[in-house]
């Protein structure tokens, strides 16, 4: 049995990580009653996937192709479930849970390569990832986040232009070899005639990495940042076959990304989806704050969990890696996980410094932080075990990390339940009312289009600009939006009233329905639907 597992690249602890990921996702879903998603955006993906499977259209509104899907690969995977007739929620949640498990397994392997000789670092890091509540929430969200995280870990694990073989003696899946983050010197294995590979084999490995990198970019466009970082590090430390490896990476990435770029280009005139410009325009006012404040704001949601007690260990590990650079230039590659995490949060602080939905956009920074934090904490504890204060610190850090991980697992379950309840009793409830009471041919102006598109398909003027790019230039201009609604002949408006106070105060905007959902209990307000009366022509 062990030989079969080894041949498949599996470890004994993989089963434990898989069970932790699947069980956690299932329990979160069960706690929310087994219905809905915690984000309206999850319904957007389902609408695109259903139309793709049933009509062969890349469209939110049937017959009107649009570039409103941020994650084309995720949408395509969801469409497979629709095409096979699998219940859409079961398919989406199964994909999310499996991606979470894969993230944990890859995290375990990266940890073992970053911290050679540190006992149990792999399974502990993998379980830390699989039980982190933000990541479970993402896996059960129906969104692309879990896939993006898994593919990002895959890129980090595969980034290596070297021709070293897979063996228990050294790293094979990433450049995280040489000197461990904790300062231990791993045995340097030099190439000989039995381990050398041809330039063609090196290019083939690069091509494989390029394909995974393309999948990452097709899942979320900011994945190109990790691809660039990994490519630079690989080329810098790849030796004489670096060019063959780099060429393979570039070829695989370009081939994989080209269809998505051409799709967006044909639909929106740019290689990026509409969502990129729409989100940045909607929250452009946040950019007026100082950058450091934005950076702190973006990072704050990530501190609500196990990342915080692991931070000292991560700092210890980075300090050791920096010291190792004096002796081994290849040690720089071991910084890739944290460089990626930092680059991601810095990017969002610069372009989209939003913190809602538990910091959903920067959640992918958590797995590399957990992996490095677990390994660094184990090194930190080992360094202080000979003295009484060190032993006390060791136990305190270990207990704090485990206790906080489990405590926030429960807190996250409750947060997921609350989030699903809000979407179900506000967005979905309003969409069901539309399906029953409003003629399907009437144009609807709406902010948060997902549930409406799924349960009450109809012509839509998207006030968030995701599938109506003409909205983007005036996205914060209420009089201009009202004028556009009149010009387009919108018959009804669906929104949270507080989002458009000037519009809902206009005498031509008359309320006809309001939900009685759970949003007010969470500090929000109920969804409302208004009839728009533009007067006689």
Name 494's bridge partners.
446, 529
Q: Is the pLDDT of residue 191 over 70?
A: no
Give the separation between CA 407 and CA 43, rounded to whole angstroms. Answer: 30
What pLDDT is stored for residue 4 in this prediction? 45
Give the separation between CA 84 and CA 91, rounded to whole angstroms. Answer: 10
The arithmetic mean of pLDDT across residues 127-147, rounded, is 98
What pLDDT is stored for residue 74 in this prediction? 97
Name 529's bridge partners.
494, 513
What pLDDT is stored for residue 165 in this prediction? 39
pLDDT over 90, % of the chain: 69
What pLDDT is stored for residue 205 in this prediction? 84
Residue 16's pLDDT band, with cuts at 50, 70 and 90, is very high
Q: Who's near 146: CB < 8 A, 6+ residues apart?
A: 95, 96, 97, 99, 100, 103, 135, 138, 139
The arithmetic mean of pLDDT across residues 125-131, rounded, is 97
Give the separation between CA 353 and CA 359, rounded to whole angstroms. Answer: 10
* CA quadruple 58, 60, 61, 62: dihedral sign: positive
What pLDDT is stored for residue 382 in this prediction? 78
Residue 177's pLDDT band, with cuts at 50, 70 and 90, is very low
Nearest Cα neighbor of 407 from 303, 337, 260, 305 is 305
Q: What would the two tokens of residue 297 be?
A: 């704001």
- What DSSP letter does each residue of 275-322 carry, written as one string? HHHHHHHHTGGGGGS-HHHHHHHHHGGGGSSTHHHHHHHHHHHHHHHH
pLDDT tens digits, 25-70? 999 999 999 889 999 999 999 999 999 999 999 999 998 999 888 8
Average the pLDDT over each of 96-100, 240-244, 328-332, 384-388 and give the range with the smallest value. 384-388
Q: Is the pLDDT of residue 179 over 60?
A: no
Q: Taking phi first (over 0 means left), then psi (-120 to 50 degrees means alpha), and beta for anything else, what does residue 327 get?
A: alpha
The arithmetic mean of pLDDT across residues 164-170, rounded, is 37
What pLDDT is stored for residue 276 in this prediction? 80
What pLDDT is stored for residue 183 in this prediction? 41
Are 369 and 341 spatial neighbours (Cβ–Cβ below 8 Å)? yes
pLDDT over 70, % of the chain: 88
Mean pLDDT of the chain: 88
pLDDT tens digits, 97-114? 999 999 999 999 999 999
Give the separation between CA 524 and CA 496, rounded to whole angstroms. Answer: 9
Q: What is the CA radius of gyration of the chain?
A: 25
Q: What would the two tokens of residue 207 be?
A: 């091509």
pLDDT tens digits, 200-234? 777 888 898 999 999 999 999 999 999 999 988 87
What pLDDT is stored for residue 389 in this prediction? 67
What pLDDT is stored for residue 329 in this prediction? 65
Q: Is the pLDDT of residue 167 over 60?
A: no
Give the separation between CA 146 and CA 162, rounded to whole angstroms. Answer: 29
Residue 324's pLDDT band, with cuts at 50, 70 and 90, is confident
What pLDDT is stored for residue 239 in this prediction? 65
* CA quadruple 209, 349, 144, 58: dihedral sign: negative
Are 371 and 317 spatial neighbours (Cβ–Cβ below 8 Å)? no
- DSSP letter at 186 equals P
* CA quadruple 41, 47, 53, 56: dihedral sign: negative
Residue 6's pLDDT band, with cuts at 50, 70 and 90, is low
Are 371 and 338 spatial neighbours (Cβ–Cβ below 8 Å)? no
Domain range summary for the chain, segments of one domain joined by +: 13-182+197-416, 417-532
Q: Annotate 121-175 with three-state secondary structure.
A: HHHHHHHHHHCCHHHHHHHCCCCCHHHHHHHHHHHHHHCCCCCCCCECCECCCCC
What pLDDT is stored for residue 388 in this prediction? 63
Are 230 and 269 spatial neighbours (Cβ–Cβ below 8 Å)? no
What pLDDT is stored for residue 134 in this prediction? 98
**pTM for the whole thing?**
0.91
């Amino acid at each position: 049995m062990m030989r079969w597992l080894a041949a498949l690249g599996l470890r004994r602890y993989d089963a434990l990580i898989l069970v932790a990921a699947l069980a956690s996702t299932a329990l979160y879903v069960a706690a929310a009653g087994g219905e809905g998603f915690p984000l309206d955006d999850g319904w957007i993906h389902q609408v695109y996937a259903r139309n793709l499977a049933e009509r062969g259209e890349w469209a939110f509104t049937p017959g009107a192709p649009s570039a409103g899907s941020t994650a084309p690969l995720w949408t395509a995977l969801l469409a497979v479930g629709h095409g096979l007739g699998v219940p859409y929620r079961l398919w989406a949640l199964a994909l999310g849970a499996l991606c979470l498990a894969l993230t944990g397994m890859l995290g375990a392997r990266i940890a073992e390569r970053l911290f050679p000789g540190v006992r149990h670092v792999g399974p502990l890091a993998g379980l830390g990832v699989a039980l982190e509540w933000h990541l479970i929430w993402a896996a059960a969200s129906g969104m692309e986040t879990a896939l993006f995280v898994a593919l990002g870990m895959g890129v980090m694990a595969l980034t290596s232009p070297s021709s070293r073989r897979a063996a228990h003696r050294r790293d094979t899946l990433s450049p995280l070899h040489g000197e461990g983050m904790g300062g231990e010197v791993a045995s340097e294995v030099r190439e000989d005639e039995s381990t050398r590979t041809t330039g063609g084999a090196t290019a083939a490995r690069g091509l494989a990495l390029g394909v995974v990198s393309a999948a990452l970019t097709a899942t979320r466009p900011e994945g190109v940042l990790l691809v660039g970082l990994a490519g630079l590090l690989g080329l810098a430390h790849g030796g004489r076959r670096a060019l063959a490896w780099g060429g393979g990476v570039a070829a695989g990435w370009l081939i994989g990304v080209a269809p998505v770029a051409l799709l967006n280009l044909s639909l929106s005139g740019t290689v990026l989806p509409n969502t990129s410009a729409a989100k940045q325009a909607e929250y452009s006012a946040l950019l007026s704050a100082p950058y450091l404040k934005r950076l702190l704001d973006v990072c704050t949601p990530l501190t609500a969990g196990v990342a915080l007690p692991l931070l000292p260990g991560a700092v210890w590990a980075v300090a050791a890696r920096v010291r190792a650079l004096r002796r081994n230039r290849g040690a720089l590659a071991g910084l890739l996980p944290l460089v990626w995490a930092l680059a991601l949060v810095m990017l969002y602080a610069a372009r989209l410094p939003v913190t809602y939905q538990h910091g959903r956009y920067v959640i992918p920074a958590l797995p590399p932080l957990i992996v490095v934090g677990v390994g660094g904490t184990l090194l930190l504890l080992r360094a202080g075990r000979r003295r009484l204060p060190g032993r006390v610190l060791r136990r305190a850090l270990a207990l704090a990390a485990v206790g906080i991980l489990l405590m926030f697992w429960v807190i996250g379950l409750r947060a997921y339940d609350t989030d699903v309840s809000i979407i179900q009793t506000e967005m979905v409830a309003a969409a069901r009312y539309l399906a029953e009471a409003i003629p399907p041919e009437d144009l609807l102006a709406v902010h948060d289009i997902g549930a409406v598109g799924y349960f009450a398909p109809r012509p839509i003027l998207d006030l968030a600009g995701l599938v109506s790019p003409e909205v983007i230039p005036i996205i914060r201009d209420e009089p201009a939006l009202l004028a556009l609604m009149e010009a387009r002949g919108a018959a009804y408006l669906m929104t949270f009233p507080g989002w458009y106070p000037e519009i809902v105060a206009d005498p031509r905007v008359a309320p006809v329905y309001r939900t009685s959902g759970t949003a007010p209990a969470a500090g929000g307000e109920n969804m409302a639907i208004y009839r728009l009366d533009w007067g006689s022509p």
